Structure 1
């Protein structure tokens, strides 16, 4: 795995919309989908660094267009194996 991208949203439907935009925008795959609590949902994708960065940007834009302020997003290039194992 070369990179992990994360987007945290408020609600399941906006998370699915962001995930759809992420997968359509770049060559990434869903690595994990977590309900954090208090309505927060985290979508985690993986792929090469450029694809993950493009996917996170597209997912954040799709979320902000429909729902407003994004809770959080991040791209982690070359994650440590322990971190990747914890997230995925």
Structure 2
């Protein structure tokens, strides 16, 4: 079973720092991210096993540069939830370096 995790934080720099920590400490993958309110809020969506996603979110919410606005983990997401995430990922057109 896999899960998706969401972390919404204030500011792009804080989001990058939290994402880096999540990816280094857990076996998860970035699915997509979105900026809202002119970049004042950044939402990152990750995926992996349930335990890895929970661990990543725990690490991502610790010692952040700015307050975490929201976070959550959804185990075995519904197909409509997956469609919504995929739509977001298509908008971002995430590219590899």
Fold match by TM threshold 0.5: yes
Looking at CA atoms only, which structure, 1 or 2, has the larger radius of gyration? 2
In structure 1, the residue matched to 2:21 is 21
Structure 2: which 5+ runs fail to align? Answer: 87-97
Taking only aligned residues, the RMSD between alpha carbons, in angstroms, comes to 1.3
Q: Are 2:7 and 1:7 equivalent residues in the alignment?
A: yes
Q: CA deviation at 1:22?
A: 0.5
Q: Distance in 1 between matches of 2:3 and 2:63?
A: 21
Contact 1:21 1:62 survives alignment (8 Å): no
Contact 1:5 1:52 survives alignment (8 Å): yes
Q: Report the TM-score when normalising by structure 2.
A: 0.81
Q: CA deviation at 1:84?
A: 1.4
Q: Distance in 2 between matches of 1:24 and 1:62?
A: 15
Q: Counterpart of 2:77 in 1: which secondary structure?
A: coil
In structure 2, the residue matched to 1:57 is 58
Structure 1: which 5+ runs fail to align? Answer: none
Number of residue-to-residue matches in the alignment = 85
